[in-house]
Amino acid sequence: MIKVHRSTVIQAPIAAVWAILRDFNGHDRWHPAVARSDLEAGRKTDQVGAVRNFRLESGVRLREQLLSLSDKDYSLRYAIVESDVPLQNYVAEIKLKPVTDGGGTFCSWTSHFTTPKGREDELASLVAEGVYTAGFDAIRERVSASQFSAPSITVRTGTGIDGLAMGIKRYGGPEELQQIDVEAPPPGPGKVRLAQTAIGVNFIDVYCRTGYFKLLTPPGVPGMEAVGTVIDVGSGVRHLSAGQRVGYACLPVGAYATVRTMPAALVFPLPDRIDDATAAAGLLKGMSAEFLLHRVHRVQKGETVLIYAPAGGVGRLLCQWAAYLGATVIGATSSEEKARLARSAGAHHVILPGQKSLEEQVKEITKGRGVDVIYDAVGRDSFAHSIEALAPCGHLISFGQASGDIGAWDIGSLASKSITLSRPNFGHYTDTPEKVQAITKRLFQAIEQRIISIEPERHYKLSDAAEAHRALEGRETTGASILIPDDLYR
């Protein structure tokens, strides 16, 4: 038995590296040796048991099966099930660990296999250098620190445009959000410099502030969504020009600022008919609703859908859009006031806390059957109830954890109903300009056709970002909240 091992440190947050590696069918987009890859039998890219059928640039063909994948441990295992190259009994494992000092990621890639006598050294070298080392180098290039890590508090050089931001110097509560001076440097190749006019507030910003998601290494600036005007662009940027209204909802974080220089690839022009406040309130939430309803689970007419937090930013859009698609929509919320908002957003039924459990109320509404799909952004407190509320062959989509992580679950228990479980990551659906273009095209059409309505419920000064976070964490908000630079606040 031959063992091959390679390890390295990549100077990028673990979430950015994992976003690439966990896509079991995405290696043809980053590994230089892979020419084309396709998943068999319509499996999902992170579905255990999925088989990828791919061809190398050399013409060699292989089939590999995903054996395990853990978002908690940042690890995956896979095996070769068929290959033109004699790599027999091949099982490989990739593991990631955060590097505390510097915010990088330690990456380990290990395999065991047998091969015909006399070819051991040749094939061990091929795997070690042609696959593992080349793969690490490609990932390092794709997730360079400048591209994906949160911008640190910038030292003034005198060559940039001065601005203000709300950032943190350490993880913690809302009080850690403090006003800091920043500088937006001239845009280099592939970059754009923006004067921001409105900034979206999302629960992922809370996770960044507390350190729950390691997308930001203090000192730094949170925020993934904003709109503004292009000041200038770097070389190679063709789709943007000075003076243009634009928006974005993507990594790297750093949106809580008046000015910003960032990668231009995922920044896109805004239609004239969608104003800044609407765009800032709805880009990330609307893009999330689009891929949740059209890609993670394609909602069909006649299905019954359960949506948690239906009066919230994403929840309201899910209700509106799912009802338009012909689904029967059930909302699960905490108060009569939020129930009223859910009904106005298209919910046909609303479940409130009471003597009967959520699943009992769902069974009453569905005449004992349960629901076809659940959109659950609550997490720990709702997960067990969601399992019970599903119909046979139902689909549970856990896309948030407002009440905390769901913890460890034995997936064997899902077999009693043949349940499908998804844990989608926004970054995997928006990591290329092509994906963003497809999602925003449908989103903008939905807004223009009044399929969905996006109206920011709360406006805060940028300097009041801590107040916005307190309200969000306290579940005081309905709809969306936005931040406005203080000098533009009316």
433-488: per-residue pLDDT in tens? 788 889 999 999 999 899 998 877 789 999 999 999 999 888 777 668 899 999 99
With cut-offs at 50, 70 and 90, classify the pLDDT of residue 148: very low
Domain endpoint, select from 124, 147, 170:
147
Q: CATH no. for residue 84?
A: 3.30.530.20
State the Cα–Cα distance between residues 77 and 390, nearest whole angstrom: 30
Dist. CA 83–CA 64, nearest whole Å: 9
Question: What per-residue confidence (pLDDT) applies to 12?
Answer: 81
Would you say residue 258 has pLDDT above 50? yes
Asked whether residue 355 falls in the same domain as residue 232, the answer is: no
* pLDDT score of 225: 94
Does residue 122 carry a pLDDT above 70? Answer: yes
Task: Flag whether pLDDT at 158 surpasses 70.
Answer: no
∠ CA 287-292-297, nearest 5°, is 150
Q: Specify the range with the lowest mean pLDDT, choosing from 77-81, 211-215, 305-309.
A: 211-215
**137 and 169 share one domain:** no
- The arithmetic mean of pLDDT across residues 174-185, rounded, is 93
Q: Which of 112, 87, 89, 83 is nearest to 4 (CA)?
A: 112
Q: Whole-number mean pLDDT of the chain?
A: 89
| CB-based contact 50:25 (threshold 8 Å) | yes
Same-domain check for residues 125 and 169: no
Same domain, 409 and 305: yes
Shared-domain flag, residues 269 and 371: no
- CA neighbor of 425 nearest in space, from 319, 316, 288: 288
Q: Which range (47-56, 140-149, 160-169, 453-462) has the least confidence?
A: 140-149
> In this predicted structure, what is the pLDDT of residue 422?
87
Place of tokens 């290039």: 141
Q: Are residues 276 and 307 in the same domain?
A: no
Cβ of 102: how many Cβ atoms within 10 Å?
11
- Residue 412: domain span: 301-423
Which of residues 88, 123, 147 is at a domain's end?
A: 147
Give residue 427's pLDDT band: very low, low, confident or very high (50, 70, 90): confident
Per-residue pLDDT tens over the stretch 332-386: 998 888 899 999 999 999 999 888 899 999 999 999 999 999 999 887 778 888 8
Q: Does a structural domain hold residue 92? A: yes
Decide which of 100 and 417 is more confident. 417
Looking at the domain assignment, is residue 104 inside a domain?
Answer: yes
Query: Residues near 78 by Cβ (< 8 Å), separated by ≥ 6?
Result: 24, 64, 65, 66, 67, 91, 92
In order of 31, 96, 236, the CA distances from 131 in angstroms are 8, 17, 31
Q: Say whether both 124 and 167 belong to one domain.
A: no
121, 147, 173 - which closes a domain: 147
What pLDDT was estimated at residue 103?
66
Q: What was the pLDDT predicted at 405?
A: 67
**Would you state the pLDDT for residue 429?**
86
Any domain includes 77 = yes
Average pLDDT over residues 30-47: 89
Say if residue 246 is in the same domain as residue 124: no
Same-domain check for residues 25 and 118? yes
- CA–CA separation, 91 and 481 (whole Å): 48
Q: What is the pLDDT of residue 433?
A: 79
Kindly indicate the confidence band of residue 269, based on its pLDDT and cuts at 50, 70 and 90.
Answer: very high
Q: Please report, rounded to a whole number, the percentage of residues in the chain having pLDDT higher than 70.
A: 94
Collapsing DSSP to helix, strand or coil, 276 comes out as: helix
Same domain, yes or no, for 308 and 272?
Answer: no
Residue 402's pLDDT is 64
Residue 294 lies in a domain: no
Query: Domain check: are 141 and 165 in the same one?
Result: no
Asked whether the beta carbons of 353 and 336 are under 8 A apart, the reply is no
